[in-house]
Amino acid sequence: MRKAKKLLNHPADVCQQQLDGLIAACHGNIQPVTGVSAVVRSDLPDAQVLIVTGGGSGHEPMFAGYVGDGLADAAVQGEIFTSPPPDAIMTTVKHARPGKGVLFIYGNYAGDNMNFAIAAELLEEEGIASRSVRVNDDIASAPADRQQDRRGVAGDMMVLKIAGAAARQGLQLDEVWRLADKARQHSRSIGVALSPCSLPQTGEFTFTLADDEFELGIGVHGEPGVRRQKMIPADQLVSELVESLCADQALAAGDEICLLINNLGAATFSELLIASRKVHQLLAQRAITIHDTLIGSYCTSQEMSGYSLTFFRLDKQLKALYDAPCHSFAWRKP
């Protein structure tokens, strides 16, 4: 059986060593939390809501790559594709010393839902107020009438951007939560895979795809999509993705969005830019304005080949928060 080739040291050390490399690359802007796989801002403000994100490793630069001014204040990471345990979340929050409460932001997955909820309950018992936003932007993972069951994918970063900007303004916990949840409701994503991802511990691929096939609606852990089919031209595929995203969010002429074209791991920039070209053409035909375009690796799935599109629908309030400055390893807005 064919296995993935990766330039690693020992497979058991992947999660910690990649986190150590991130900390080194940030030149003192983030610091580790002793005893757990987590990082916090070095310049943590005392008088604002603490934004904590996290989830399984394997999606780099998500989650720790978004720790910085105007984004997350801390990130807790589990093993590859595995939720961080409640005690690690608690340790990270206490290390950060929340002043005005804690807002947890994470993807809508069973393990994350359970472990962050346990941590929230323990915090409440200690008198620390907390709220949670479970990001569920993946439109392929459940129909519109079951949005609560949808997975979180690259839309996490839009929610983090809005929450971080709101917290930076000194708003109270309930208002930061309200704005972050509004960002969640305004985010929609869908992805396509041409090849699978693999687990560093074993080198084994999580699923198989024929050389002449792609899978529409794939999850970032290799969860099944809505269908597999023979390869088609990029413009034809992008047209379907755009149609699905517009329909799910009822986008219409005069609306304004931010566009994220996210490399799932092994897509080339040529493929991403060809997708950008077609999305811009299609939305111009619909008289939908693109306020900002992000293209690159923001929420990956190891070496999975393919990409996801995210539409983040703006209003005046969300636009102002989106345009606020931020600075982290993975996202910088001056």
d(CA 188, CA 185): 8
- Are the CB atoms for 223 and 191 separated by under 8 Å? no
How far apart are the C-alpha atoms of 207 and 24, rounded to whole Å?
34
Would you name the residues annotated as active-site residues? 59, 221
How many angstroms separate the CA atoms of 265 and 229, rounded?
A: 21
Q: 125 is written with which tokens?
A: 């018992």
List the one residue out of 110, 154, 119 whose CA is nearest residue 135. Answer: 154
Q: In 10 A of CB 325, how many CB atoms?
A: 11
CB 133 within 8 A of CB 163: yes
